[in-house]
Chain A
């Protein structure tokens, strides 16, 4: 009964969303306040209804109600509670319901935090947001209903894909969706502004927190996915340029560009039409990502839904929203005139360069991702585009971006000169180059990647620190430090996020350049050397987990004869899903991870053992966490907080 009620509330929310699409739009056009005001209760009730629907589905998973087909197909009574809950979105139908829930949540947030928006803009934003919801309600209700019942309820379910039964992956989709769907908000703002025909500094200020939040969630989501791949897939790769990864990476790159160009709109009232275009493209890439993942058109390890009908539906949604918004953009972009002028060397120009690099980098990922499809359809060539292509064609953009970053962030708006920063910048460059030279001399005969990454890391992190230091003004160190501590959180956010980027770049270069790998057959009791460590396979035993059987090895790691760790890598077998998984054992460290995997028993005795020394692995995700933290700091800046904007606006209205 509850299940049917949840299905019904979903249909009700669909109906409300349809009204919310048209009524406020007409109201805003005609200037009818009552019609415009309809958007707010509608958005909130949509959220409540979808929230109820989602809660019921979650409850069905928690109590293992196998009369619901989705629960039967993706759950099992023996599964730990965490994965019963994450099982809700570990499948196509449930994940689309999560997508809708987040869409409705953002709509409701626009109501709760949008009191400082002009009435017409708020009505239009909510109407556009509702139109996106309509498309996805239709999608879920007509093609992927999560509430389908079974005629006969089975005794137990088929279990969730064991690869997905993991804490890293349990929270990966919700964060990614918060990011994807968060970009729908900037899209709505962009389309509403185009309908309104006005983009000004205030618009830039309203759009920025939404973009920032979406980008931050995307960063966390991508980092979680990458971390999961690192420890779960069994050889410590952290990024595979898999179509599904690329699907989340493209919106990340575009939203990073958008984040920077929205600053220019806010501070300098220029680059308006470009910013609006980016806002449209960012959500376009989100939809494209959903299409890639949901349709399975570029199948990969991740694609757990494989249904052409659904793919076509999402393609239609994508075409409608992207096509519609771009047409509107073409028709109205001329209304958006830039005001602020700036010199060739200025923060504005540097941000233009940042945008070019990020946007073209996203394009590289895009073309590499869809090329196999294009080549097959257009030229009849069956081919693959894999990591070597992306490594070769994407990395230069990141290197260029890292080189430009500290320079741009230290330039002044309008007409820039480095002035006081020139000396410290030159010193920083010299330190970075010296460190690279030293690393190159020490490593002897390995690729230049490590030293280059080290130099870039020092350059970017140092640049972020220098940026803060210069903001401290003149005077003694104590004065400066006090002033730096009192800088707005947005400045701190900028420095922290940029520093995080530098750390990630260094981590990626370090792990790729300086990794040590050892593959061998080891007998029980045998000791062997890997790098500076002595590895001993002590024992291999069998154990039973809650819903799997495990083969467990005890491996001790020693350095200079002193034991530093006992690691227990596992091979698991999930009998219900009939799937094996590997659980690598990792000794985390700041300078290196020790990563061991146990393999199959060998015919002539002994076990296959893989050992890796992964230098600076944790810096990759540490940097990502810092980037997200930087976003959070900026987001909490009082300038962006709600009341302040409203108060300021009231003052400026009073002054007019």
Chain B
């Protein structure tokens, strides 16, 4: 419980996220930094990107990221740099590599399968024409019609 409270203290307190002093002067670079930082996870938080988190380490990461961008890294290079140091844990959007292919392609595969099965079931159904009348029903109908 204590540990949890600590986590809440660090992460869910006044969510401060990006501080005014971190913001880069170049608006274009800053926009790129913001976009990348929503995709990087704060290492000590639960399910929060460094863009949202107010943990000190998230702030450090934001500053490092901005330094890389100012140094002329491309978006991918900056992300690679972070992954090299903190592991793929920091990626909010796992890369579609190795076992992660399962994560990315399970749903589309399932959709495809469901659509095929759905299509076959719908097509294989007897046509929407009603069942022909039985002899008895026909006789009854004739009787009614003759009246």
Q: What's the nearest-Cβ distance from chain B to residue A219, in Å?
A: 23
Nearest-CB residue, chain A, relative to B112: A360
Greatest chain B CB density within 10 A among A356, A378, A379, A578 is at A356
B100 CB within 8 Å of chain A: yes
Encode B112-128 as 1/0 by CB contact (under 8 A) with A.
00110010011101111
Nearest-CB residue, chain B, relative to A346: B128
Q: How many A-B residue pairs have CB under 8 A?
A: 157
Q: What's the nearest-Cβ distance from chain B to residue A583, in Å?
A: 9
Q: What's the nearest-Cβ distance from chain B to residue A374, in Å?
A: 8
Interface residues of A in 503-542 (CB under 8 A from B): 519-521
Q: Are B110 and A387 in contact (CB under 8 A)?
A: no
Encode B30-46 as 1/0 by CB contact (under 8 A) with A.
00000000110100001
Q: Are A414 and B128 in contact (CB under 8 A)?
A: yes
Nearest-CB residue, chain A, relative to B18: A519
Q: Are B4 and A368 in contact (CB under 8 A)?
A: no
Task: Give me the interface of B with A, judged by CB distance under 8 Å.
Answer: 1, 4-5, 7-9, 11-21, 23, 38-39, 41, 46-49, 52, 87-94, 98-100, 103-104, 106-107, 110-111, 114-115, 118, 121-123, 125-129
Encode A44-60 as 1/0 by CB contact (under 8 A) with B.
00000000000000000
Q: Are B41 and A386 in contact (CB under 8 A)?
A: yes
A636 CB within 8 Å of chain B: no
Q: Are A384 and B94 in contact (CB under 8 A)?
A: yes
Complex Cα–Cα for A379 and B98 (A) = 10
Q: Are B127 and A341 in contact (CB under 8 A)?
A: yes
Interface residues of A in 340-391 (CB under 8 A from B): 341-344, 346, 348-349, 352-353, 356-357, 359-360, 363-364, 367-368, 371, 375, 378-379, 381-389
Greatest chain A CB density within 10 A among B5, B103, B118, B129 is at B103
Question: Which B residues lie within 8 Å of A386 (CB)?
Answer: 39, 41, 47, 49, 92-93
Assuming the contacts A243-B47, A608-B20, asked whether A581 and B115 have C-beta atoms less than 8 A apart, the reply is no
Assuming the contacts A163-B8, A237-B52, asked whether A599 and B90 have C-beta atoms less than 8 A apart, the reply is no
Nearest-CB residue, chain B, relative to A385: B94
Q: What's the nearest-Cβ distance from chain A to residue B47, in Å?
A: 5
Interface residues of A in 575-610 (CB under 8 A from B): 577-582, 599-600, 602, 608
Complex Cα–Cα for A415 and B122 (A) = 12
Q: Are A579 and B8 in contact (CB under 8 A)?
A: yes
Q: Are A571 and B14 in contact (CB under 8 A)?
A: yes
Complex Cα–Cα for A306 and B39 (A) = 28
Q: What's the nearest-Cβ distance from chain B to residue A515, in Å?
A: 12
Interface size class of chain A, counting residues whose CB lies under 8 Å from the partner chain? 35 or more
Complex Cα–Cα for A353 and B122 (A) = 11
Q: Which of A357, A367, A383, A602 contacts B91 (CB 8 A)?
A: A383
Complex Cα–Cα for A386 and B94 (A) = 8
Complex Cα–Cα for A397 and B12 (A) = 31
Q: Are A242 and B47 in contact (CB under 8 A)?
A: yes
Greatest chain B CB density within 10 A among A233, A386, A577 is at A386
Q: Which of B15, B88, B128 contacts A415 (CB 8 A)?
A: B128
Complex Cα–Cα for A375 and B101 (A) = 11
Question: Which B residues lie within 8 Å of A341 (CB)?
Answer: 125-129
Question: Which B residues lie within 8 Å of A113 (CB)?
Answer: none
Q: Which of A163, A378, A387 contacts B92 (CB 8 A)?
A: A387
Complex Cα–Cα for A608 and B127 (A) = 69
Complex Cα–Cα for A243 and B46 (A) = 10
Q: Are B12 and A301 in contact (CB under 8 A)?
A: yes
Q: What's the nearest-Cβ distance from chain A to residue B96, in Å?
A: 10
Q: Which of A235, A304, A349, A384 contacts B17 (CB 8 A)?
A: A235
A161 CB within 8 Å of chain B: yes
Question: Which A residues lie within 8 Å of B18 (CB)?
Answer: 519
Q: Are B90 and A384 in contact (CB under 8 A)?
A: yes
Complex Cα–Cα for A237 and B52 (A) = 9
Q: Can you list 11 A-B pairs, Cβ within 8 angstroms, ordered by A?
A: A161-B8, A234-B15, A235-B15, A235-B52, A237-B52, A242-B46, A300-B47, A367-B106, A519-B19, A581-B14, A599-B16
Q: Which of A306, A343, A379, A571 contacts B1 (CB 8 A)?
A: A306
Task: Give me the interface of A with B, judged by CB distance under 8 Å.
Answer: 161, 163, 233-235, 237, 240-243, 299-301, 303-304, 306, 338, 341-344, 346, 348-349, 352-353, 356-357, 359-360, 363-364, 367-368, 371, 375, 378-379, 381-389, 392-393, 397, 414-415, 519-521, 571, 577-582, 599-600, 602, 608
Q: Which of A243, A388, A577, A582 contacts B38 (CB 8 A)?
A: A388
Assuming the contacts A234-B14, A414-B128, asked whether A385 and B103 have C-beta atoms less than 8 A apart, the reply is yes
Further contacts, 13 of them, CB under 8 A, given A301-B46, A389-B93, A608-B16: A235-B52, A240-B48, A242-B47, A343-B127, A367-B106, A386-B39, A519-B23, A577-B5, A579-B9, A581-B13, A582-B13, A599-B16, A608-B19
Question: Which A residues lie within 8 Å of B4 (CB)?
Answer: 303-304, 306
Question: Which A residues lie within 8 Å of B93 (CB)?
Answer: 385-386, 388-389, 392
Q: Are A375 and B128 in contact (CB under 8 A)?
A: no
Greatest chain A CB density within 10 A among B52, B93, B107 is at B107
Assuming the contacts A341-B128, A415-B128, asked whether A360 and B19 have C-beta atoms less than 8 A apart, the reply is no
Question: Which A residues lie within 8 Å of B15 (CB)?
Answer: 233-235, 582
Q: Which of A241, A304, A346, A367 contacts B107 (CB 8 A)?
A: A367
Q: What's the nearest-Cβ distance from chain B to residue A609, in Å?
A: 8
Q: What's the nearest-Cβ distance from chain A to residue B57, in Å?
A: 15
Q: Which of A306, A367, A571, A577 contacts B103 (CB 8 A)?
A: A367
Nearest-CB residue, chain B, relative to A598: B14
Question: Which B residues lie within 8 Å of A364 (CB)?
Answer: 107
Q: Are A356 and B114 in contact (CB under 8 A)?
A: yes
Question: Which A residues lie within 8 Å of B118 (CB)?
Answer: 352-353, 356
Question: Which B residues lie within 8 Å of A519 (CB)?
Answer: 18-20, 23
Assuming the contacts A356-B114, A356-B118, asked whether A383 and B94 have C-beta atoms less than 8 A apart, the reply is yes
Q: Are B13 and A580 in contact (CB under 8 A)?
A: yes
Question: Which B residues lie within 8 Å of A371 (CB)?
Answer: 94, 103
Assuming the contacts A346-B128, A375-B99, A600-B16, asked whether A393 and B104 have C-beta atoms less than 8 A apart, the reply is yes
Question: Which B residues lie within 8 Å of A343 (CB)?
Answer: 127-128
Question: Which B residues lie within 8 Å of A382 (CB)?
Answer: 87-89
Question: Which B residues lie within 8 Å of A378 (CB)?
Answer: 99
Chain A to chain B: the 6 pairs with minimum beta-carbon distance, closest first = A386-B92, A388-B93, A582-B14, A234-B15, A364-B107, A379-B99
Question: Which B residues lie within 8 Å of A240 (CB)?
Answer: 47-48
Q: Are A360 and B14 in contact (CB under 8 A)?
A: no
Question: Which A residues lie within 8 Å of B49 (CB)?
Answer: 386-387
Question: Which A residues lie within 8 Å of B14 (CB)?
Answer: 234, 571, 580-582, 599-600
Nearest-CB residue, chain B, relative to A522: B20
Complex Cα–Cα for A68 and B115 (A) = 55
